[in-house]
Structure 1
């Protein structure tokens, strides 16, 4: 699956598993997508630039780890740490990776 195919498959209403919860894509716009947080209607956004770099890391190293995510995107990792499991959950949903202790591997 190419990055563009992966990106296009992320559509409003898509529900996917994260390690301890399910999340749903709530909005898609030109520069990213929003995903649900918890049961109270809150959401956060993942920029496509972050998603693409994460996809490239998984493809190049066969791993997408929290350590790499924190180093590559320190502001995102601090302000929206759940974006790591959101991206990883999407990798898992599309059979690009499986979750193994703070990392998604293919």
Structure 2
């Protein structure tokens, strides 16, 4: 029996670009800009979330500051958010909640983390509650 070799699936258009950009420019220990946070949210590195590669970051634990919580945003979530920003010029909390429900359910801070990373990459600017605008 001859086995058919399958080509690996290609990443959706835009995914490789934004994920590679994050990997190249947002190293572990990067502080994520947050519009209203009182403590630092810090990139841990890459790991897994929802069975997919994801950027993992630490958030403050007020009850035990030595043991921060961890949250993550998957590569496909980065791609969808980036494509939305490129296509419409906006990345909004309403769009985030509707189109990235698993990410939103993990924590509303994932919205400002995506936006904050877009700010670090000089792709977007926080303009008002729940809105990042493309630069």
Per the alignment, residue 42 of structure 2 pairs with 24
RMSD: 1.6
Q: Secondary structure at the match of 1:15?
A: coil
Deviation at 1:46, TM superposition (A): 1.0
Deviations 1:56-76 (A, max 9, x none): 111111110000001101232
Per the alignment, residue 118 of structure 2 pairs with 91
Residues 1-106 of structure 1: matches in 2 within 5 Å?
2-8=17-23, 9-21=25-37, 22-29=40-47, 31-39=53-61, 40=65, 41-101=68-128, 102-106=130-134
Greater helix share, 1 or 2? Answer: 1
Deviations 1:37-86 (A, max 9, x none): 12531111111111111011111111100000011012321231110000
Please list every run of 5 or more consecutive structure 1 residues that lacks an aligned counterpart in the other structure: none
Output the CA distance in 1 between the equivalents of 2:113 and 2:18: 16
TM-score, length-scaled by structure 2: 0.70
Please list every run of 5 or more consecutive structure 2 residues that lacks an aligned counterpart in the other structure: 1-16
Deviations 1:1-38 (A, max 9, x none): x4144232232111121112231101313701111112
Counterpart contact for 1:11–1:28, Cα < 8 Å? no
TM-score, length-scaled by structure 1: 0.87
Output the CA distance in 2 between the equivalents of 1:10 and 1:53: 19
Report how many residues are paired: 105
